[in-house]
Structure 1
């Protein structure tokens, strides 16, 4: 069993150990250290590691901004698809579950995925398409959809970008980004587009909180940028919804 703590080693900001309440009172600044090694607060995956459900050997532990809870999921295919759902604004939330194949001891990582239009799908994750046309599970499944690793081919840049963006949102949770949001949309309304670097250079804004707000707006579909082909940098151009 391998535990991967998805705390994200990326360029960004360091969340202080100061609580959100104390930080507000003391004027917490998150952007003093722009080289960071991840969010300090970690997910406890002890229960997942002790699980007797075999066939799921890698555990990813992370905080989900979309669901506002800490999560653990088994397997690279599950983590890849679910981290991308953090940036899919048609998805309102998801709930990781496990399914047991009928007649076997095989356990599958799955997730109930909730869409904003009211639809619900159960995603079952695997490395490749199942060899059998249909599989039965002990648990009742209404709308099943297989999601496999082959679908993630060529999406490594997009996945890394959303790992970074979710880390930005996670590190700022509980802190107000109202000032940064106002400043960002003032620039967007005046110019139509702006780079991340220009937003970070604005006076009277916290760079760490600004990165979190940028990530939140990208996740909601309020703004857009190229995330599939190139890594996120200060030169990344943000545009408004058309």
Structure 2
């Protein structure tokens, strides 16, 4: 197979794999979009699932690249390749941090809406349960955010939104100065660990606010 054909095939496989991944994430999110759990039956659920994948996916790839540096890419052209990949990682993290922020804020507002008077009709979605049942479920979820587990929300904000965004800016500035690739690689590993912790806190909060109330 010619080199050009091989590149086209790899590109096609990459596109198909990406599309399959997006569909798989959507299907997984739909498991939680059920009328019996009004706390999850909201578009913020899909956003949270996608933002988690878009945050951790590139970071894990960055970790693999950092650990494989020198073997995955020939040494003579390795540095420009890694610096470009780090720049793309930084831009991706900025976009994903914004997406994660929207998802968290939207879900928090959705749950808190049950505590602010009548439930807005626009937030009832397609749930086939009574309005008061929805209000009760959302109110319980909102109280979880304000109760003994309230510390999980700032942890999620800090590690899943603020830390990746600040890291992206720092990574850009580091390469702008021609900083060490080894140091950048170690930093990528560190931010990945923090992001995983943030997503774990967020997912814990997701399940805690969706506990049965009947």
Larger RCO of the pair (alpha carbons < 8 Å, separation 6+): 2
Question: TM-score, normalized by length of structure 2?
Answer: 0.27
Point out the structure with the larger helix share: 2
* Higher CA-based Rg: 2
Structure that is richer in strand per residue? 1
Query: What TM-score results when the alignment is normalised by the length of structure 1?
Result: 0.25
